[in-house]
Amino acid sequence: MLQIQDTLVSLDLIERFFCCDLDACLGACCVEGDAGAPLNIEEVERIEESMPEAWADLTPAAKETINDQGVAYVDEEGDLVTSIVNGRDCVFCTYAPGGKTLCALEKAYREGRTKWCKPASCRLYPVRLKQYDGFTAVNLHIWKICKSAETHGRKLGIRAYQFLKDPLSARFGEKWYEELCITADEYLRRYGERNDAS
């Protein structure tokens, strides 16, 4: 772990290559898993404000789920998360030709229909944050569905922290990200070849 201000950053974020390859994975992170994306109360409110514009892009099953339980629920670990359909798909999944999964919230934002994109946990993925007393742990979630992103990132020479520049800067601030880059450069200069993750 590397300490950046009041955060502890996993070395995986520095060492591992990562760049989403949506053509290869088809957006599996919005479908796979046993719970929705982590949220806070403010994000639930923002989602609800965005629903009139995103609603038409949702599947019939997603609309039914939202009508039954709302846009979010509390999972088995006690965390507030986005609602899911049939124990798997995020309710905000919408599909493009070829089976590619897109986010209805982000689609509405990119088309200028809303002013808010999507939850921070989705923008930050594959980073997952964990709050502790006095600091935040910044971890990289590693699993098989992102293998294509690791391969793509390695091919392009993009590390995970570089790929996530915008959402990390939005969450922690530009000065925090600048400090992360300086620390990462120094770490990789000293240990990169020895610890380079595949």
Which tens digits make up the pLDDT trace of 109-158? 999 999 999 999 999 999 999 888 889 999 998 888 889 899 999 999 99
Mean pLDDT over residues 175-193, rounded? 89
- List pLDDT tens digits, range 36-66: 888 999 999 999 999 999 999 999 999 999 9
Sign of CA dihedral 34, 40, 46, 48: positive
pLDDT range class, residue 198, cuts 50, 70, 90: very low
Pair 5, 43 in one domain: no
Identify the pLDDT of residue 130: 86
Of the CA atoms within 13 Å of residue 114, those in its CB half-sphere come to 19
3-state secondary structure of 10: coil
- Count structural domains, the chain: 2
> What one-letter code names the amino acid at 31?
V
Rounded to two decimals, the pTM is 0.82
Under the banding of pLDDT at 50, 70 and 90, the label for residue 29 is confident
**Cβ atoms of residues 118 and 105 within 8 Å:** yes
Give the confidence band of 162 by pLDDT, cuts at 50, 70, 90: very high
Domain span at 52 = 26-118
User: What's the mean pLDDT in 165-186?
Assistant: 94
One domain for residues 95 and 154: no
Contact 54, 108 (CB under 8 A): yes
In a shared domain, residues 159 and 104: no
Note whether 49 and 90 are same-domain residues: yes
Q: What's the token pair of residue 119?
A: 């939850």
Give the model's pLDDT for residue 30.
79
Q: What is the DSSP letter of 32?
A: S
Give the pLDDT of residue 87: 81
3-state secondary structure 102-126: EEHHHHHHHCCCCCCCCCHHHHHCC
At 167, which amino acid appears? P
CA atoms of 73 and 54, how far apart (whole Å): 19
Q: State pLDDT tens for residues 59-86.
A: 999 999 999 999 999 988 888 999 999 8
Say how far apart CA 96 and CA 117 lie, in whole Å.
18
Domain end call among 118, 148, 183: 118
Residues 160 and 94 in one domain: no
Which residue blocks in the chain are alpha helix, DSSP H? 11-15, 22-25, 41-54, 60-69, 104-110, 120-124, 147-156, 160-163, 165-172, 174-195
Does residue 89 share a domain with residue 114? yes
Give the residue, 35 or 188, on which the prediction is more confident: 188
User: What is the predicted pLDDT for the residue at 86?
Assistant: 84
Integer CA distances (angstroms), 75 to 39, 41, 87, 174, in order = 11, 14, 11, 32
pLDDT band at 16 (very low <50, low <70, confident <90, very high): very high
Average pLDDT estimate for 92-121? 90
Q: Where are the alpha helices (DSSP H) in 147-173?
A: 147-156, 160-163, 165-172
171 and 195 fall within a common domain: yes
